């Protein structure tokens, strides 16, 4: 028998939950309502695979942006994940307590730096370096990959480290008892055992990379053409929205929301993969 | 809905000058508040049309349906084509600039410069500066999709100042010693040449409103067009408006 | 030539230590660069004056106030909604399909790029609800943005409260409400607080979503309906337009110091969380 007070408090919580969830539902619905008409008009295939983005002429193909997002994210993963994994192994296995207590907060700090600061730093150091030593305008997929690699380090490091630390001591002690070296233990026993957590960390890092806007606008060059090398400027799905958001109206604006839909779908797919990986223990 | 005084929004080219005007105006009239917002010419026109802003700023002429809005030219601004100071080329014809931007010419050596690829820099799609450039220089030709896009005059200037192979276009008033403004057809890019008409690349800075402004908004616009306001703009590098009265 | 296990181990150790070193060097490079160039600009004047002359002179007071107000609105709106939802999901419902779907949606929404929130906020709050460019528009947009994160971290914190606490409370005759307020909340509080602090960090650092909802006006905001410029936006505009590099660096330095403080507080809370004995 629930008292009145109990019923009220439960209803209050229910109300709160419903409001919050409807706010979140609102944004999803909104994005779809605004974006679907233009996709319907242009055609899904034309939109997703169209090569030309020129809204003032009615051309709404986002394929170059998809390639931009994919290449920059891939580059960030290739550059950042190995370093991040090594660093997480360092923190979990090799670092003395005093050092890890310094390094861990330092990495958290990296996570909090505003992306515009990263972008600016990249503009001052990375872009000229690429321009002077590798050629091209410097604003390039490579520059974007480097900056994003740095930006996803904290995410991948901290989650991987947690996964490694969560492993039962038994694994390590068992391996040592069998005569394995420290490195052999890490490589053949610990890493595979922590695989699902590490995979989740990498996917979260990739998710962050795909979603980054401001830093990328500053170093990627934002050209609408399909990039042909990593030294070419490019545009991602997010920077496409960011750089044209304020100006757009009518169909142009709908196309930006449609880009948002594509992003939402990509994030959902990534999340589904991450959850699947996490469940396979 | 309580409003925070006069809201001015639009062109990022006009924005800094509007801010200077607003600051001066608010010192003279402490009871008035003016808030300046960026967003680009297209956004400014839309904001004025829908009423979210009292005044919209544009750095290009109004077109088509936009002409039904109330507008006034508050100043003229030259459009400078800039290159790196070390670039040996100092003079190009309008056709050559167009060819560069259309990517028909993609190497500096074809124009008498060093053998290196031209890095073309343009503004984003809704920018008034870009629209002005397109109508004055490009005509029917399209700016190459391989051009690097930056979202402000300052960013374009910064890029050109850092890259010896870059070319870009910015507000004449923003040219400084970090970049070199090209002569076009032998005519130097100076205020005087814009005023006397020999340098053809110039565009109007417009204040736009949904309908004839009244009250505080009208007074601020009047200040902008007054001798004092115009002098302020001239000191900042703009050219006084030829259109002293509103439409 | 067979490489011995010892030498592989040695190589591995070198690679791993170098990676860690690289990360630390990068962090220091970025932070030291900003602080070195920015701290000289920091003085009481810089913090207490508003920007003048397009930001070429004066200080950054209005942007500090703007940042605080926008963040405050976001937190005040998102915290009760987020924590309350987390409580409802963990305490009042059973684990099942519905909760899994809700959790998945919250996860996905947490991953949406902030620019999409900015686009939504611009159309919905600024234009449709006619709030215009204002602290309210910016704060509400940020609230929606950090809501999924707060729900997730709060839910995590609440779920890890040992069921023992609840069982003891019930066996002593406590009602659901009493159990929540007296047994669960105190224990989950540090975890919830961490989520809120992460949300604060995100609000302070956010640029894309703010610039189109709170605007970029330089004046000191006088009400929640005033437009405002946050420090992150100010830095972006100053640095991009080349208006005043010293002030840009100064703003960035303040931002970094602020983030440092936020992190220190979060860390203290984490330590308390762990120390409470999970």
Domains in chain C: ranges and CATH: 66-230 (1.10.3720.10)
Q: Who contacts A166 (Cβ-Cβ below 8 Å, separation ≥6)? A: A194, A197
SS3 readout for chain A: CCCHHHHHHHHHHHHHHHHHHHHHHHHHHHHHHHHHHHHHHHCHHHHHHCCCEEHHHCEECCHHHHHHHHHHHHHHHHHHHHHHHHHHHHHHHHCCHHHHHHHHHHHHHHHHCCHHHHHHHHHHHHHHHHHHHCCCCCCCHHHHHHHHHHHHHHHHHHHHHHHHHCCCHHHHHHHHHCCCCHHHHHHHHHHHHCHHHHHHHHHHHHHHHHHCCHHHHHHHECCCCCCCCCCCCECCHHHHHHHHCCCCCCHHHHHHHHHHHHHHHHHHHHHHHHHHHHHCC
**Shortest alpha-carbon distance between residue C232 and chain A (Å):** 7
Report how far residue A52's alpha carbon sits from residue A237's, in angstroms, rounded to the nearest whole number.
Answer: 14
Nearest partner of C217 among C70, C48, C42, judged by Cα: C70
- Residues from chain A that touch C137, judged by Cβ atoms under 8 A, are none
* Among B204, B207, B211, residue whose Cα is nearest residue B239: B204
Q: Does B32 touch chain C (CB under 8 A)?
A: no
User: Average per-residue pLDDT in chain B?
Assistant: 88
pLDDT at A1 over 60: no
- Is the four-CA dihedral B52, B56, B60, B66 of positive or negative sign? positive
Q: Which of C8, C27, C123 sits opposite A110 (nearest CB)?
A: C27
Rounded to the nearest angstrom, the minimum Cα separation between A228 and chain C is 26
CA–CA gap between residue C106 and residue C154 (Å, rounded): 12
CB atoms within 10 A of CB B183: 18
Q: Which residues pair with B58 in a beta bridge?
A: B206
Q: How far is A127 from chain B (nearest CA, A)?
A: 10
ipTM of this predicted structure = 0.84
CA angle A96, A100, A106 (to 5 degrees): 155
pLDDT of residue B245: 41
> Searching chain B, which residue's CA lies closest to the CA of residue C51?
B23
CA distances from C51 to C16, C35, C62 (A): 47, 21, 7
| Angle (CA) A69 A75 A81, round 5° | 120
A vs C: CB pairs below 8 A? 226
- Interface touch B153/C241, C-beta < 8 Å: yes
3-state secondary structure of C182: helix
As a whole number of angstroms, the distance between CA C245 and CA C37 comes to: 9
Please report all neighbours of C, defined by 3+ CB atom pairs within 8 A: A, B
Q: Do C133 and B151 touch (CB under 8 A)?
A: no
Q: What is the pLDDT of residue A2?
A: 61
Packing angle, helices C185-205 and C61-87, rounded to 10: 140
Quote the CA–CA distance of B240 and B234 in Å, as a whole number: 6
Q: Does A60 touch chain B (CB under 8 A)?
A: no
- Beta carbons within 10 angstroms of residue B159's beta carbon: 24
Q: What is the DSSP letter of C107?
A: H
pLDDT at B72: 92
Contacts of C211 in chain B (CB under 8 A): 38
Q: Looking at the partner chain, which of B4, B9, B50 has a beta carbon nearest the beta carbon of C226?
A: B4
Q: What does the pLDDT read at residue C129?
A: 87
Task: Give the DSSP H or E segment for C61.
Answer: helix C61-87
Give the residue ranges of chain B where pLDDT is below 50.
Answer: 1-4, 244-247
Q: Are B2 and C131 in contact (CB under 8 A)?
A: no
Cβ separation C53–B157 shorter than 8 A: no
Instruction: Name the H helices within C129-244.
Output: 135-159, 163-171, 176-178, 185-205, 208-211, 231-241
- Give, for C98, the enclosing helix (H) or strand (E): helix C97-111
Q: Is C35 on the interface with A (CB under 8 A)?
A: no
CA A122, chain centre distance (Å): 18
Of A109, A184, A213, the CB nearest to C27: A109
CA distance C30 to chain A (A): 7
User: Going by C-beta distance under 8 Å and a sequence separation of 6 or more, which residues neighbour residue C97?
Assistant: none
Q: Which residues contact B182 (CB under 8 A, 6 or more apart)?
A: B80, B81, B82, B83, B89, B90, B91, B92, B97, B189
In this complex, which of A137, A222, A246 lies closest to B126 when CB atoms are compared? A246
Using CA atoms, how far apart are residues B231 and B237, in angstroms rounded to an integer? 10
pLDDT tens digits for chain C (278 residues)? 567 778 888 888 899 989 989 988 988 889 899 989 888 888 877 777 777 777 677 778 888 999 999 999 999 999 999 988 888 888 777 777 777 777 777 777 878 888 888 888 888 888 888 888 899 999 999 999 999 888 888 888 888 777 777 788 888 887 777 777 777 888 888 778 888 888 898 899 899 889 889 888 888 888 888 888 999 999 998 888 877 888 889 889 989 888 888 888 877 777 766 665 44
If you measure CA to CA, which chain B residue comes closest to A216? B150
Helices B15-28 and B215-225: angle between axes, nearest 10 degrees: 110
Structural domains present in chain A: 67-236 (1.10.3720.10)
**Residue A35 pLDDT > 70, yes or no?**
yes
Does B19 touch chain C if contact means CB atoms closer than 8 Å? yes
Inter-chain residue contact A223 with B40, CB threshold 8 Å: no
> Once rounded to an integer, what is the mean pLDDT over residues A264-281?
78
Contacts of C160 in chain A (CB under 8 A): none
Residue A248 has its nearest CB partner, among B126, B142, B144, at B126
Cross-chain CB nearest to C177 (options A6, A83, A211): A6
């Amino acid at each position: 028998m629930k008292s009145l007070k109990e019923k009220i408090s439960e209803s209050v919580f229910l109300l709160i939950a419903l409001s919050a969830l409807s706010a979140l539902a609102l944004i999803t619905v909104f994005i779809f309502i605004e974006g679907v008409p233009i996709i319907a008009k242009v055609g899904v295939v034309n939109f997703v695979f169209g090569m030309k983005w020129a809204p003032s002429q009615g051309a709404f193909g986002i394929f170059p942006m998809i390639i931009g997002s994919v290449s920059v994210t891939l580059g960030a993963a290739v550059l950042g994940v190995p370093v991040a994994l090594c660093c997480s192994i360092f923190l979990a296995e090799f670092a003395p307590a005093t050092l890890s207590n310094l390094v861990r907060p330092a990495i958290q700090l990296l996570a909090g730096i505003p992306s515009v600061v990263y972008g600016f730093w990249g503009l001052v150091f990375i872009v000229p370096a690429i321009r002077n030593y590798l050629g091209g305008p410097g604003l390039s997929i490579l520059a974007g990959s480097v900056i994003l690699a740095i930006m996803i380090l904290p995410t991948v490091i901290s989650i991987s480290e947690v996964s490694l630390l969560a492993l039962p001591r038994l694994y390590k002690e068992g391996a040592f008892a069998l005569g394995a070296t420290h490195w052999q233990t890490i490589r053949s026993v610990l890493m595979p055992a922590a695989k699902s957590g590490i995979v989740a960390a990498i996917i979260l890092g990739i998710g962050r990379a795909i979603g980054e806007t401001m830093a990328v606008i500053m170093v990627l060059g934002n050209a609408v053409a399909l990039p042909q090398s990593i030294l070419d400027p490019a545009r991602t799905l997010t920077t496409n929205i960011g750089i044209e958001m304020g100006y757009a109206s009518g169909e142009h604006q709908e196309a930006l929301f449609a880009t948002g839909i594509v992003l939402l779908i990509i994030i959902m797919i990534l999340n589904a993969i991450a959850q699947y990986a996490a469940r396979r223990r | 809905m309580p409003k925070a005084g006069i809201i001015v929004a639009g062109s990022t080219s006009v924005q800094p000058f509007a801010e200077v005007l607003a600051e001066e105006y608010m010192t003279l009239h402490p009871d008035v508040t003016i808030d300046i917002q960026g967003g680009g010419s297209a956004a400014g026109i839309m904001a004025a049309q829908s009423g979210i802003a009292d005044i919209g700023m544009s750095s290009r002429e109004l077109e088509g349906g936009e002409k039904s809005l109330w507008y006034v030219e508050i100043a003229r601004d030259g459009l400078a084509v800039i290159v790196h100071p070390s670039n040996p080329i100092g003079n190009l014809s309008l056709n050559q600039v167009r060819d560069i931007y259309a990517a028909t010419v993609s190497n500096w050596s074809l124009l008498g410069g060093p053998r290196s690829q031209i890095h073309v820099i343009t503004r984003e799609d809704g920018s008034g500066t870009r629209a002005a450039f397109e109508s004055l220089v490009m005509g029917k030709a399209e700016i190459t999709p391989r051009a690097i896009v930056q979202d402000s005059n300052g960013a374009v200037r910064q890029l050109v100042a850092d890259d010896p192979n870059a070319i870009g276009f910015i507000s004449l008033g923003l040219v400084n010693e970090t970049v070199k403004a090209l002569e076009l057809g032998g005519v130097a890019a100076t205020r005087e040449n814009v005023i006397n008409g020999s340098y053809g690349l110039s565009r109007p800075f417009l204040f736009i409103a949904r309908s004839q402004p009244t009250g505080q908004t009208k007074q601020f616009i009047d200040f902008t067009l007054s001798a004092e306001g115009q002098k302020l703009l001239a000191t900042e590098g703009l050219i006084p408006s030829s259109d002293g009265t509103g439409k | 030539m067979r490489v011995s296990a010892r030498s592989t181990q040695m190589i591995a150790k070198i690679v791993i230590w170098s990676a860690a070193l690289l990360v630390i060097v990068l962090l220091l490079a970025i932070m030291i660069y900003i602080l070195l160039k920015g701290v000289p600009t920091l003085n009481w004047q810089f913090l207490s004056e508003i920007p003048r002359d397009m930001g070429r002179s004066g200080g950054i007071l209005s942007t500090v106030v703007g940042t605080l107000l926008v963040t405050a609105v976001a937190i005040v709106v998102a915290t009760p909604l987020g924590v309350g939802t987390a409580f409802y999901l963990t305490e009042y419902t059973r684990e099942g399909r519905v909760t899994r779907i809700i959790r998945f949606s919250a996860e996905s929404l947490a991953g949406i790029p902030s620019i999409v929130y900015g686009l939504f906020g611009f159309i919905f709050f600024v234009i449709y609800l006619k709030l215009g460019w204002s602290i309210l528009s910016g704060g509400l947009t940020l609230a929606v943005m950090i809501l999924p994160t707060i729900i997730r971290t709060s839910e995590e914190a609440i779920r890890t409260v040992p069921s023992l606490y609840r069982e003891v409370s019930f066996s002593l005759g406590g009602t659901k409400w009493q159990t929540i307020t007296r047994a669960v909340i105190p224990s989950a509080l540090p975890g919830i607080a961490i989520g809120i602090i992460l949300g604060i960090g995100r609000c302070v650092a956010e640029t894309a979503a703010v610039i189109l909802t709170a605007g970029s006006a330089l004046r000191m905001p006088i009400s929640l309906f005033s437009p405002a410029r946050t420090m992150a936006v100010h830095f972006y505009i100053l640095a991009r337009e080349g208006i005043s590099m010293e002030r840009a660096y100064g703003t960035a330095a303040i931002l970094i110091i602020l983030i440092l403080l936020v992190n220190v507080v979060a860390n203290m809370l984490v330590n308390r969380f762990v120390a409470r004995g999970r």
